């Protein structure tokens, strides 16, 4: 049940996981179909007005239980953290309090990286490539959204291999750079 916090409605992570990526993708695809059609018709100078499409896709991460790399979980165990799938990007201050803040120095201290398994830019490119977009074709693309906790060094390997923003098959890309993912946890979605 959503609760009000500071004038905003708050929905717990488990409630979002319970809704799941399928329902979230179906709902968002119906909203985006008109936006995508108008984007395709717009002159190039007007297309920046549709940047909110990308922002919408970033929030799909709230509806998936994060994958976790074996190496990241091993490091989390050493640090006394819970299974990393219990954490969200916003929890970094809890996970790595010494690495929170602005500036490169802080970023160098980070151990973990919240990784979009299928980069948001890739999802946008696939939507733009649709010749006759439908809600169903957009939904199929949106269902590919996912996130994973990996080590910063694993993220660096993805980048060096050329997989920063383009991944035809993210699982194959992970395999090529030696990132082993643990089986996803189901989480007890029956409790609030």
pLDDT of residue 159: 96
In a domain, 190, yes or no: no
In a domain, 169, yes or no: yes
The DSSP-derived string for the chain is --EEETTEEE--HHHHHHHHHHHHHHHHHHHHHHHHHHHHHS-GGGGGGGTHHHHHHHGGGGGSPPEEBHHHHHHHHHTT---GGG--GGGHHHH-GGG-SSSHHHHHH--EEEEESS-HHHHHHHHHT-SS--HHHHHHHHTT--EEEEEHHHHHHHHHTT-SS--SSHHHHHHHTT-PBPPPP---TT--
In a domain, 184, yes or no: no
In a domain, 181, yes or no: no
In a domain, 137, yes or no: yes
pLDDT of residue 47: 83
In a domain, 98, yes or no: yes
The tally of domains found in the chain comes to 1
pLDDT of residue 91: 85
Provide the residue-wise pLDDT of the chain in tens; the chain has 192 residues. Answer: 454 455 554 567 777 777 899 999 999 999 999 989 988 898 988 888 778 788 889 999 999 999 999 999 999 999 999 999 989 888 887 788 766 555 444 556 789 999 999 999 999 999 999 999 999 999 999 999 999 999 999 999 999 999 999 998 999 999 999 999 998 876 554 444
In a domain, 90, yes or no: yes
Residue 127 lies in domain: 3-176
pLDDT of residue 95: 81
In a domain, 192, yes or no: no
């Amino acid at each position: 049940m959503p609760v009000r916090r500071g004038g905003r409605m708050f929905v717990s992570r488990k409630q979002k996981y319970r809704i799941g990526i399928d329902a979230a993708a179906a709902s968002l695809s119906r909203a985006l179909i008109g936006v995508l059609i108008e984007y395709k018709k717009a002159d190039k100078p007007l297309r920046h007005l549709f940047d909110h499409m990308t922002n919408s896709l970033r929030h799909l991460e709230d509806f998936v239980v994060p994958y976790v790399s074996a190496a990241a979980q091993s490091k989390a165990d050493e640090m006394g953290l819970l299974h990393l799938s219990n954490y969200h990007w916003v929890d970094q201050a809890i996970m790595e309090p010494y690495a929170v803040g602005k500036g490169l120095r802080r970023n160098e201290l980070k151990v973990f990286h919240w990784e979009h398994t299928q980069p948001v830019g890739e999802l946008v490119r696939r939507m733009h490539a649709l010749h006759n977009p439908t809600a169903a074709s957009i939904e199929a693309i949106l269902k590919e959204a996912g996130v994973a906790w990996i080590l910063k060094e694993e993220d660096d390997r993805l980048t060096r291999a050329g997989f920063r923003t383009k991944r035809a098959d993210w699982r194959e890309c992970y395999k090529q750079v030696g990132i082993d993912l643990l089986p996803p946890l189901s989480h007890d979605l029956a409790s609030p």
